[in-house]
Amino acid sequence: MANLLLSQKVLNLSNEDLLDIIKLSLRNNDVKILECLFKNNIQVNEIKDKYGYHPIHFAIKNKKLECIDYLLENGASINEKTKDGYSPLFLAYDTHDPLIIESLIRHNADINDVNKEGETILFLAVKDNDIELVKCLINNNANVNVKDKDENTPLMIASHERYFQIVRWLVKGGANINEKNKYHDTALYYSSPNYGYKKEIYNFLKVRGAC
């Protein structure tokens, strides 16, 4: 396939044909095909399907880390969204592959980007009790005080779900322990005797000035 591409006028191929070739390279994890395309100066960010999926999105969905890295190192947009609002980082989260997520963060993906619910990747990691990803995001300057559409913060979610270790990391990362959501509830309230009482979390927040 690579030799065939070198003998063809790639620039004369349609967007659909180019996308088919790229999908083939991704299925086979064949970086050489991508290299041939880039040697012919393809505009990788202009190639997409009717749903707004670009080569980088397909590479992530196919979990092809080598191809992902190659695309990003050769100009693929790290924050390009599909028509339904999926950025590469949110697609990567759906793969549950930490190496892909870490690669995107390393290539400066916007870790504070939000989905339709107003949630960042940090929210999703907290909900899934993924302590390692929470640590990774905090260490890469994720906004720990971001709010979703109900004005909940990641700390409120962690307190509500009884995820003590995540509560500790969020507070260490600068979470505002007295922030309120649209119902005027705080992280302390969700750990209090009035709401299921999570003693370990409640005492931890109280000692640090939660009220």
User: What pLDDT score was predicted for residue 106?
Assistant: 95
Does residue 88 sit in the same domain as residue 137?
Answer: no
Question: What pLDDT digit, counting tens, does each position of 72-82 carry?
Answer: 999 999 999 99
| Average pLDDT over the chain, rounded to an integer | 92
Angle at 54 between CA 80 and CA 135, to 5 degrees: 50
User: What pLDDT score was predicted for residue 81?
Assistant: 95
- The total number of structural domains in the chain stands at 2
Does residue 106 sit in the same domain as residue 144?
Answer: no
pTM for the whole structure: 0.89
Closest CA to 131 of 168, 175, 87: 168
Helix (H) or strand (E) holding 137: helix 131-139
What are the phi and psi torsion angles at 113 (to 5°)? -65, 150
User: What pLDDT score was predicted for residue 173?
Assistant: 97
Asked if residue 75 is part of any domain, the answer here is yes
Give the domain range for residue 104.
1-110
Closest CA to 76 of 100, 98, 54, 60: 54
Does residue 153 sit in the same domain as residue 211?
Answer: yes
User: What pLDDT score was predicted for residue 184?
Assistant: 97
Does residue 146 sit in the same domain as residue 44?
Answer: no
CB burial of residue 206 (10 Å; 0-12, 13-18, 19+): middle
Does residue 134 sit in the same domain as residue 59?
Answer: no
CB burial of residue 97 (10 Å; 0-12, 13-18, 19+): middle
User: What pLDDT score was predicted for residue 8?
Assistant: 54
Asked if residue 43 is part of any domain, the answer here is yes
Does residue 139 sit in the same domain as residue 103?
Answer: no
CB-CB contact of 56 with 21 (8 Å): no
18, 80, 93, 94 from 45: Cα distances, Å:
12, 8, 21, 22
Written as tens digits, the pLDDT of the chain (211 aa) is 545 554 455 557 788 888 988 998 898 888 988 888 888 788 899 999 999 999 999 999 999 999 999 999 999 999 999 999 999 999 999 999 999 999 999 999 999 999 988 899 999 999 999 999 999 999 999 999 999 999 999 999 999 999 999 999 999 999 999 999 999 999 999 999 999 899 999 999 999 999 9
